[in-house]
Amino acid sequence: MILSCGDALYDVFMAPRSEPGLDSGSGEAGYLKTGSIALDARIGGSPLNVGVALSRLGQPTGFFAKVSTDPFGQNLLAHLETEGVETDLCVRTAMPTTLAVVALDAKGVPTYSFYTNGTADRSLEPAELPARLPDAIRVIHIGSYATALEPTAGSLEALVRRERGRRFISYDPNVRPSIVPDPDLWRARVAALSAQAH
């Protein structure tokens, strides 16, 4: 089994200006001037997507993160379970689900705004790590912005340090300067976690 760990969020897409009923005028962000915005929320987070993709390929897969009990989090876990991804190790919290708001310009180029302060997937504490992982887990995959935001970053690093001698470690940095703008912090995180990866 492959255990994927890290981000669990919703990508919230704002309707582009070219859609009917939207302002295509002077560039007021290109969205409705009525105070309404059309939104389309999709489950995301690269480690979560890895887990779903591997499950669809027939690979036994689990997901580990701190997941909200809010409606987004409930739907997120239901989606994983429907996709055949085990969620038994997930930690639940009343903290909200992370949102990544995606605005597309007239050419379809995305701009991301991340809402991560006080959210579930970035709040995993070391004490919330599973005391023991199931023997069936042969690979641990960690990734994305969760590996740079404390306390989740330190918790995931502690997990892979603890398990490195027993399981294959995979790491996808997916550097997001819009979330963590400090390049030195990213360099330090990538160096520390790359040293644990196989």
The answer to whether 10 touches 43, Cβ cutoff 8 Å, is yes
- For the chain, the straight-line distance linking the first and the last C-alpha, in angstroms and rounded, comes to 17
Domain 2-8+43-96+118-194 has CATH 3.40.1190.20: yes
The answer to whether 109 touches 18, Cβ cutoff 8 Å, is no
Nearest 10 degrees: CA dihedral of 145, 174, 184, 179? -40
The answer to whether 198 touches 169, Cβ cutoff 8 Å, is yes
Nearest 10 degrees: CA dihedral of 86, 89, 91, 92? 40
Using a pLDDT cut of 70, give the percent of the chain over it.
89
What is the reported pTM? Answer: 0.86
DSSP conformational letter for 90: P
pLDDT digits (tens, 9 = 90+) for 32-62: 555 677 889 999 999 999 999 999 999 999 9
Using a pLDDT cut of 90, give the percent of the chain over it.
72
pLDDT digits (tens, 9 = 90+) for 162-185: 999 999 999 999 888 878 888 898
Query: What is the C-alpha to C-alpha distance for residues 29 and 49, in angstroms, rounded to an integer?
Result: 30
The beta-strand segments (E) located in the chain are: 2-6, 9-14, 39-44, 61-64, 66-68, 85-86, 91-93, 98-104, 110-115, 139-143, 168-172
pLDDT digits (tens, 9 = 90+) for 82-103: 999 999 999 999 999 999 999 8
Non-local (6+) Cβ contacts of 7 within 8 A are: 44, 45, 46, 47, 48, 65, 98, 121, 143, 144, 145, 146
The sheet that has 98-104: what strands, in order across it? Answer: 39-44, 9-14, 98-104, 110-115
Phi/psi for 110 (5° steps) reads -85, 150
* Average pLDDT across the chain, whole number: 89
Query: Which residue from 185, 192, 101 is spatially nearest to 148, judged by alpha carbons?
Result: 185
